[in-house]
């Protein structure tokens, strides 16, 4: 990215900021969009202006910064009102802090140590730079340099790939000591001094992808990169419905007719949420495992049931779980392929991942539910 910005473009002017990118303007008036980390590096090299520099327009704050600014303005105005009502500075401050911390909109933005000195600092900022001086500079936080060295990153990818080939459900906490041990051994063998190698280093490695969309990354990556992407992906289960495992299993039960004749063994198609281990979809059929059964379970997970459903089936422990799945994980069975299932995945924006054959640990959450 830095190579695409010419040295003769002069000092780039700050225009606006989005979540992960910054819009800059060169001396010719041409706008350039760069990543936040690239923008910080340009500032350190003197090739870009910081937000709030007097030579350029004020930056456009994000919602968090805007609310933070509004809290400070409200606090100053409220303090003035309390002081005019005859309260002392200490009494006014005590009332103000109690009101802010009990306010559902402002409580999360109140500093942990909101003292009289804090109010004085806010007033000084307004006196020197106006209201814009109250906009927080959150974008300047964080490490400016690399948290780890290249050897640690290489070691981390090797350990992730090795573990993923065996079990894609290992937690970050279980992998950190393995990466650290291998990293220290490599440092010793190469005669180099080891650097940081804790949990945050591994988390930073997992967040260092070009894109967050696994499908997009697969199309422009080699096979080794795919394994790295999958290794990161399967360690990022953070919320319900992030990953849902679906499987069709022939139950160890025989169904008989009214006259006692054998009808067959039922097929159970279950969907289990990896984050909670809770079954979010279940269908039973006397047919062999098929695509229609899998699509029906996905539909059930995404369809609100309502109280009538629980009344009809006599369910007393009612827990409504509905939403769009982020990723579906299945095995290599023929029921997990077909035009209908492909269309459902494509039109809903879900990711579809399959486990390797004969690796039951890949779906241990679902296998634990089904008892297989």
Q: Is residue 237 classed as helix, strand or coil in its secondary structure?
A: coil
340 domain residue, yes or no: yes
79 domain residue, yes or no: yes
**Among 88, 107, 140, which residue terminates a domain?**
140
56 domain residue, yes or no: no
159-196 burial string, b = 16+ CB within 10 Å, else e? bbeebbeeebbbeeeebbebbbebbeebbeeeeeeeee
pLDDT digits (tens, 9 = 90+) for 45-89: 667 777 655 444 345 566 777 788 888 888 888 998 998 999 998
238 domain residue, yes or no: no
In the numeric block, which tokens belong to residue 126? 């307004």
Q: Which domain covers residue 70, as residue numbers?
A: 63-140
93 domain residue, yes or no: yes
Domain CATH for 11: 2.30.30
**Among 140, 170, 191, which residue terminates a domain?**
140
User: How many angstroms separate the CA atoms of 368 and 272, rounded?
Assistant: 10
Residues 185 and 299 in one domain: no
pTM for this prediction: 0.39
Q: What angle do CA 171, 355, 267 make, to 5 degrees?
A: 115
User: How many angstroms separate the CA atoms of 237 and 296, rounded?
Assistant: 24
Residues 211 and 328 in one domain: no
Residue 191 has pLDDT above 70, yes or no: yes
- Mean pLDDT over 299-312 rounds to 86
- How many domains, in total, are found in the chain? 4
- Of 344, 145, 139, 365, the C-alpha closest to 243 is 365
Residues 358 and 264 in one domain: yes
Q: How many CB atoms lie within 10 A of CB 112?
A: 4
Domain CATH for 311: 3.30.420.10
Q: How do beta strands 327-330 and 243-250 pair?
A: parallel
Residues 166 and 226 in one domain: yes
User: How many angstroms separate the CA atoms of 55 and 57, rounded?
Assistant: 7
306 domain residue, yes or no: yes
User: How many angstroms separate the CA atoms of 337 and 25, rounded?
Assistant: 49
User: How many angstroms separate the CA atoms of 151 and 154, rounded?
Assistant: 5
Residue 324 has pLDDT above 80, yes or no: yes
Specify the range with the lowest mean pLDDT, choosing from 155-169, 206-220, 224-238, 246-260: 206-220
Residues 258 and 353 in one domain: yes
Place 221 in a pLDDT band, splitting at 50, 70 and 90. very low
Place 201 in a pLDDT band, splitting at 50, 70 and 90. confident
**Among 170, 202, 233, which residue terminates a domain?**
233
50 domain residue, yes or no: no
Cα dihedral 246, 247, 251, 256, rounded to 10, equals 80
Residues 160 and 136 in one domain: no
Place 252 in a pLDDT band, splitting at 50, 70 and 90. confident
Query: Could you give the percent of the chain with pLDDT greater than 90?
Result: 9
Residues 198 and 253 in one domain: no
52 domain residue, yes or no: no
């Amino acid at each position: 990215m830095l190579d695409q910005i010419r040295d003769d473009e002069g000092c780039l002017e700050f225009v606006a900021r989005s979540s992960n990118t910054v819009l800059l303007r060169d001396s010719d008036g041409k706008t350039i969009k760069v990543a936040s980390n690239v923008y910080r590096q340009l500032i350190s090299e003197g090739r870009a202006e910081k937000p709030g520099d007097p030579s350029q327009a004020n930056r456009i704050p994000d919602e968090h910064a805007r609310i933070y600014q509004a809290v400070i303005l409200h606090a100053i105005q409220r303090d003035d009102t309390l002081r005019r009502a005859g309260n002392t500075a200490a009494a006014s401050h005590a009332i103000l802090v109690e009101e802010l911390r009990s306010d559902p909109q402002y409580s999360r933005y109140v500093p942990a140590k909101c003292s009289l000195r804090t109010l004085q600092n806010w007033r000084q900022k307004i006196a020197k730079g106006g209201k814009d001086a109250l906009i927080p500079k959150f974008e300047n936080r964080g490490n400016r340099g690399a948290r780890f060295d290249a050897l640690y990153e290489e070691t981390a990818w090797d350990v992730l790939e090795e573990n993923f080939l065996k079990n894609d459900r290992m937690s970050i906490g279980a992998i950190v000591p393995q990466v650290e041990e291998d990293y220290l051994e490599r440092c010793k063998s190469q005669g180099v001094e080891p650097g940081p190698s804790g949990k945050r280093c591994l988390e930073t490695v997992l967040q260092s992808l070009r894109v967050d969309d696994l499908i997009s990354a697969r199309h422009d990556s080699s096979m080794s990169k795919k394994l790295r992407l999958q290794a990161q992906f399967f360690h990022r289960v953070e919320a319900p419905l992030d990953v849902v495992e679906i499987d069709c299993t022939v139950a160890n039960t025989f169904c008989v007719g009214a006259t006692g004749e054998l009808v067959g063994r039922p097929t159970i198609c279950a969907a289990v949420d990896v984050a909670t281990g809770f079954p979010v979809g279940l269908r039973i059929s006397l047919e062999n495992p098929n695509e229609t059964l899998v699509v029906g379970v996905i539909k059930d997970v995404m369809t609100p049931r309502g109280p009538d459903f629980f009344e009809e089936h006599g369910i007393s422990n009612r827990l409504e779980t509905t939403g769009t799945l982020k990723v579906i994980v299945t095995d290599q069975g023929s029921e997990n392929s077909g035009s209908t299932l492909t269309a459902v995945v494509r039109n809903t924006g879900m990711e579809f991942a399959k486990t390797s054959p004969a690796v039951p640990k890949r779906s241990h959450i679902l296998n634990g539910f089904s008892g297989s």
